[in-house]
Amino acid sequence: MGFLRFNTFGIEIVIVSQSCNTYLYMKKLLAVIISLISLNVTAQSHQAFQDGEWFRFRVHYGLMNAGFATLEVDETTFKNQPVYHIVGKGKSSGLVHLVFKVNDNYETFMHQTNGKPLRFIRQIDEGGHTRDLLVDFDHKNGKAHVFNRKHNERNAYDIPPNVQDMISSFYYLRNNLDVANLQPGEMHGIKMFIDDENFDFQLKFLGREVVKTKLGNIAALKFQPYVLAGRVFKEKEGLTIWVSDDKNRMPLKIKADLAVGSLDADIDAFKGLKHPLNIIMD
């Protein structure tokens, strides 16, 4: 039997045997919603989000309702600096929750002016697999200070300039995308720090199309992250993602063809958008 740990901030895929004695944990796959925003960065052209923005996504694994994920933005201060405190939560439901319980919490404190993450929190409980990490970013000295609260361990890692965490990437790049000049077939990337490693992630722009959602038909940008093929995905192009083709750059839909089953995630509800959402009327 296969199950999928999904949240708005990352795909963590678990394929469990019939006896539930083994599983595959793909921690190095970057955030899907984050991935779909991983494009060219230019000088900030506009503010894509605001205080009070909130998204909810419904996730299905095959025909099963696997759960929900949310993202919420709040303006506050952190170490006397103005930040966006962004909280993401993922929770399983239905049959998946009975068999493989998921309860995740992700937080970032992101500077309102330069978009750099100052602190990142990752707390997950997924089928008994738990993690509790706090990361403080020292961009001046190129360090990420990681406190593993579960094991009471502290370590420091080198980070490259302009690095982002799993959530801040999404919001930083929403403000800095050069969507007007995108051409089908273009490849783009972003630097991210996850847990204790730096990653370079590649994303291919496929083009523009209209996506049918619960909210109505919405003009969208379509992307294809390059993922690890074989044991989890059918092929390295097995993941497709859509984001609204407007100033919000709101994630709309995710489709993944897995080695075992398939995944669909769709926008289910929202509030607090900074810009009007362009719903196409029939």
Do 237 and 184 meet the contact criterion of CB atoms below 8 Å apart?
no
Query: Any idea which of 82-96, 112-126, 254-268 has the lowest mean pLDDT?
Result: 254-268
Domain contains 215? no
Query: Any idea which of 32-41, 79-88, 147-156, 246-255 has the lowest mean pLDDT?
Result: 32-41
What pLDDT shows up at residue 63? 78
What pLDDT shows up at residue 12? 39
Domain contains 61? yes
Q: Which of 166, 134, 208, 185 is nearest to 69 (CA)?
A: 166
| 226/104 Cα distance (integer angstroms) | 25
- Dihedral over Cα of 50, 207, 90, 157: its sign: negative
| 279/166 Cα distance (integer angstroms) | 29
Most confidently modeled range among 83-97, 130-144, 234-248: 130-144
What pLDDT shows up at residue 261? 63
Domain contains 164? yes
pLDDT band (50, 70, 90) for residue 151: very high
Domain contains 232? no
Taking only the tens place, the pLDDT of each residue in 39-94 is: 444 444 579 999 999 999 998 887 788 899 899 999 999 999 999 999 999 888 88
Q: Which residues contact 220 (CB under 8 A, 6 or more apart)?
A: 208, 209, 210, 211, 242, 243, 244, 245, 252, 253
Domain of residue 33, residue span: 2-199
| 104/69 Cα distance (integer angstroms) | 9
Helical ranges in the chain per DSSP H: 32-35, 94-99, 168-174
| 276/255 Cα distance (integer angstroms) | 25
What pLDDT shows up at residue 182? 86
180: which DSSP letter? Answer: G
Using CB atoms within 10 A of its CB, is residue 18 exposed (0-12), middle (13-18) or buried (19+)?
A: exposed
φ, ψ dihedrals at 98, nearest 5°? -70, -35
Domain contains 143? yes
Domain contains 160? yes
Looking at residues 103-127, what average pLDDT do you find? 94
Domain contains 180? yes
Taking only the tens place, the pLDDT of each residue in 164-200 is: 998 998 888 788 877 888 899 988 777 889 889 998 7
Taking only the tens place, the pLDDT of each residue in 16-42 is: 333 343 333 333 334 444 444 444 444
- Can you say how many angstroms the Cα of residue 161 is from the centroid of all Cα atoms in its chain? 21
Total number of domains in the chain: 1
Looking at residues 90-110, what average pLDDT do you find? 88
